[in-house]
Structure 1
Amino acid sequence: MKIDLSNKTALVTGASGQLGRVMARTLASCGADVVIHYLKNETMARSLQNEIEALGRQALPLQADLTDADAAAKMKSQIFDRFDSLDILVANAVSQYTWTTILEQDLDDYVDQFETCVMQNVLLIKAFVPHMIERGYGRVIGINTECAMQNFPTQSAYVAGKRGMDGIYRILAKEVGEHQITVNQVAPGWTISDRDRENQTEIQAAYSASVPLKRRGTDQEIANVVAFLASDLASFITGAYIPVCGGNVMPTI
């Protein structure tokens, strides 16, 4: 038994980012062709393209601001000009901002997180899920966060956006399940990335002390779960919010 994504096409948004790049590589290593979405980092997108093509898979780098409806529509057109189908949608892109208390947080930060966590997902869903419905197959995977359960001080704008995203995904799972489209969320903890490896900041003792597995997870461990959910091994899992954080948060029954 193995994860086999042969003859599948995946879109990874924010694929040039710290986590997105590993998910793109992993899906390709499982046999998928990959659309590499990026906002600013064209250099990394082109590097990923070369890596994926070296694996014998097709890769298409595309730049777009996915909070803009016209940009999302253009990206849809560009994808279907190249590929016959879009089987796997991994919504990973999110904007960065400075975290502070609710009393001090700029109102624009809440709007920003709503646009990137909620409206961006709505635009992606509207662009690609109708095609999945026509084919009677699809995988929609959103990257959420453990913060959505923690609700710690200074997390308010991020949590508000990600909790809004959670509602969209749970409802979508119920609306499109009859078409054999699964809709799930992966919720990483504070994950070790290339940036940590370069800066030698992998060890964060205070954080790891609260994690049952007593360590931070890696970007590859997150990507492994995404690949599983994208595969037919996860064909009867939908509507799930899956923390990949070593037990740092645990949804209850």
Structure 2
Amino acid sequence: MEINLSGKKAIVTGGSSQLGRCIVRSLAQCGADVAIHYHSNSNQAVELAEELKTMGRFSGIYQADITKKESVFAMRDKVYSEFGKPDIIVNNAVIQYTWKNILEQEDEDFIGQFESCVMHNVYMNKAFVPHMIEQQYGRVVVINTECAGLADAGSAAYVAGKRGLDGIVRCLAKEIGRYNITVNQVAPGWTISEKDRKEHGEIQPDYDKTVPLGHRGTDQDIANMVCFLASDLAAFTTGAYIPVCGGRFMPAI
């Protein structure tokens, strides 16, 4: 048994980011052509697209502000005309900000997290899901976080945005399931990325001791789950929130 995405087209928001790059590569390794969204990191997006071409995959880079509806829809039109209509959507992008306690957190950070978690997904779904409905097939995979369940002090803006995202995903799964479209969430823990490897920051003792498996997960761990949910191996899984965090957060039944 293998994850086979041959003949499928995917789009990944935040595809030039630390986690996004690994997701893009992994989808391509499974056989998918991948459209790479970026906001400002065009150099990384160009390099990644070239890398995919050496793998024999079709790719392209597409700029958009995922917090603005008109920008997302303009990206959709360009993706449709240059790349094709995606069968797989991976909503990964999110605004980064400095965490503070609620009383000190800037109002703009709460707004930014709502826009980049909730409205980002609303706009991407409105833009790309209608085609999936027409073809009676699709996969929507959304990146959430273990933080949404843990609700640790200092993470309120992030948690609020991701919990709002959770509601959108669950409703969407019920609304479009009859069209053979699945909608699922992957919830990473504090994940080791290329930056950590370069800076030798893989081991974080204070965090690692809170993980039942004893260590942080990697970007590849997250990408593996994304590819599984994007494949037909997960054809009967929808509306799920799946932590990939070594057991640090375990949702109750």
TM range (shorter): over 0.9
Distance 2:51 2:22 in 1: 11
Unaligned runs of 5+ in 2: none
Cα distance in 1, alignment partners of residues 173 and 69 from structure 2: 22
Residue in 2 that maps onto 1:149: 149
Q: Deviations over 1:50-88 (max 9, x none)?
A: 110001010110111011111111111011102342100
Once residues 242 and 82 of structure 1 are traced to their aligned partners in structure 2, the CA distance between those partners, rounded to angstroms, is: 33
Secondary structure (helix, strand or coil) at the match of 1:158 reads helix
Alignment-mate amino acid for residue 164 of structure 2? G
- Take 1:91 and 1:128, find their aligned partners in 2: how far apart are those partners? 11
- Counterparts of 1:68 and 1:152, CA distance in 2: 29
Does the 8 A contact of 2:141 with 2:229 survive in 1? yes
Query: What's 1:74 paired with?
Result: 74
One-letter amino acid of the structure 2 residue matched with residue 160 of structure 1: A
Question: 2:89 maps to which residue?
Answer: 89
Moved more, 76-85 or 151-160: 76-85
Q: Segments of 4+ in structure 1 off by > 6 A? A: none
* Distance in 1 separating the partners of 2:75 and 2:108: 26
**Is this contact kept in 1: 2:89–2:141, CA < 8 A?**
yes
Task: Tell me what 2:135 maps to.
Answer: 135
Cα distance in structure 2, aligned partners of 1:85 and 1:161: 28
* SS of corresponding position for 1:90: strand
**8 Å contact 2:185–2:241 — kept in the other structure?**
yes
1:32 maps to what in 2? 32
Instruction: Give runs of aligned pairs for residues 3-82 of structure 1, distance below 5 A.
Output: 3-82=3-82
Match in the other structure for 1:220: 220
User: What SS does structure 2 have at the residue aligned with 1:19?
Assistant: helix
Deviations 1:18-49 (A, max 9, x none): 10000000000110000000011111101100
1:131 maps to amino acid? H
Q: Which amino acid aligns with 2:239?
A: G
Separation (CA, whole Å) in 2 of partners of 1:84 and 1:244 = 31
Paired residue type of 2:106: D
Distance 2:174 2:203 in 1: 40
Instruction: Give deviations 1:195-235, integer Å, cap 9, x for gaps.
Output: 10011000001111011100000000100000000000000
Following superposition of structure 1 onto structure 2, how do residues 112-191 of structure 1 map, counting pairs within 5 Å?
112-191=112-191
The answer to whether residue 249 in structure 2 is matched with residue 249 in structure 1 is: yes
Structure 2: how far apart are the matches of 1:152 and 1:76? 36
Identity within the alignment, %: 58
Q: Take 2:96 and 2:70, find their aligned partners in 1: how far apart are those partners? A: 22
Cα distance in 2 between the residues matched to 1:40 and 1:127:
21
Count of matched residue positions in the alignment of Structure 1 and Structure 2:
253
Q: Give the letter aligned to residue 242 of structure 1.
A: I
Which amino acid counterpart does residue 218 of structure 1 have in structure 2? T
Show the counterpart of 2:101: 101
Amino acid at match of 2:80: F
